[in-house]
Structure 1
Amino acid sequence: MTTDPAARSAPRSPARRRFQLLLVFVLGLVPWSVQTFTTGSLTLLFPWGLVGPSTGSVTTITDFFLRFTMGLPDYILVWPVGVVCYAVALGSALSGVLFGREDVRLTAAGLALAGVTQLEVARGFSVQPGRTAWPVGTVLLWAVAGFIWFIYWSRANGRDPR
């Protein structure tokens, strides 16, 4: 353990920044909500759109909000808020790789807030008859946010887990 402030504020290695960016990027590729129906069908909600694997249908988030906006319930309106929070986190992590400057608190907070919004989306979908929504994204977003926060906290307190 070091007490030297310069050592504690030393920049993270480029490999660590790339790994963190990879973790954040992958969160955009996994479903944030998995909705199962009593009929046996499935809908996957990603940050970029909805996918119905059984029908092969894909509805992008832009189509969903620009074409199918009539009568959307409030809980679905937080989906794009979560996407914006995720985009902030991704931009922060990308800045760390490209410019060597990242505020990991912003990265972690963006992911944590995106997780909160997706918990609300899953809750809203789950109250509909014949449907259950599993907040997979919330768990993954919070796990990565917690990991990033732990690394930040460890470095700030001189307990860098290298």
Structure 2
Amino acid sequence: MTSDTPERADGLHTGAIRRRRRITLLLVSVLGLVPWSVQTFSTGTTALLFPWGLVSPSTLSVTTITDFLFHLTMGLPDFILAWPLGVVCFLVSLGSALSGYLFGRSDVRITVAGLVLAGVTQLEVARGFSVQPNRTAWPVGTVFLWAVASYLYWSYTDASEV
């Protein structure tokens, strides 16, 4: 039985490569929709830090990252600046995955490195928030970012395949 899909020298079919690139883009994209930091307060309220903004479910308020960067940065502690730095790292990963999907040209090492670095920045955000009184921050984004990075790293045998 033969396949109609052309096979590369490394044994992968072009259909499998396209599917792998689609999965990579999907996984990286989903990371933009999950909270990167969950902050709990002694009052029982919660705040969710996403790559695109800060959500306070109890008040149903949203502060976008653009509002944060251009309107609210006066007097904020330095550790919070790790948040937009992490977003830049994430956008590098997303761009890499999108390039692989659209043009077939990408390097999984760039995608993985951006995710790992974004995860590191969220550890700093959580650490900074957790030392404040009456607040604990959970770096759940670090877990998700590193889980996807690990999956991508170990699932590709050739770094130029993304």
Fold in common (TM above 0.5)? yes
User: Is 1:149 aligned to 2:153, yes or no?
Assistant: yes
Partner residue in 2 for 1:45:
49
Question: CA separation in 2, counterparts of 1:110 and 1:143?
Answer: 13
Is the Cα–Cα contact under 8 Å of residues 34 and 133 in structure 1 kept in the other structure? yes
Partner residue in 2 for 1:89:
93
Question: CA separation in 1, counterparts of 2:63 and 2:23?
Answer: 30
User: Is 1:74 aligned to 2:99, yes or no?
Assistant: no
Letter in 2 for 1:7: D
Partner residue in 2 for 1:160:
none
Cα deviation for residue 6 of structure 1 reads 3.3
Unpaired runs of 5+ in structure 1?
158-162
Question: CA separation in 2, counterparts of 1:122 and 1:44?
Answer: 11
Cα deviation for residue 22 of structure 1 reads 0.3
Task: List structure 1 runs of 4+ shifted beyond 3 angstroms.
Answer: 8-12
Is the Cα–Cα contact under 8 Å of residues 92 and 103 in structure 1 kept in the other structure? yes
Question: CA separation in 2, counterparts of 1:110 and 1:119?
Answer: 15
Partner residue in 2 for 1:20:
24
Cα deviation for residue 64 of structure 1 reads 1.0
Cα deviation for residue 70 of structure 1 reads 1.2
Is the Cα–Cα contact under 8 Å of residues 8 and 156 in structure 1 kept in the other structure? no
Candidates 117, 140, 144, aligned match of 1:140: 144
Letter in 1 for 2:97: A
Partner residue in 1 for 2:104:
100
SS at match of 1:13: helix
- Aligned residues between the structures: 151
Cα deviation for residue 76 of structure 1 reads 0.2
Question: CA separation in 2, counterparts of 1:99 and 1:42?
Answer: 41
SS at match of 2:48: strand
Unpaired runs of 5+ in structure 2?
1-7
Partner residue in 2 for 1:121:
125
Cα deviation for residue 10 of structure 1 reads 7.5
Is the Cα–Cα contact under 8 Å of residues 31 and 44 in structure 1 kept in the other structure? yes
Q: Percent identity?
A: 70
Cα deviation for residue 18 of structure 1 reads 0.4
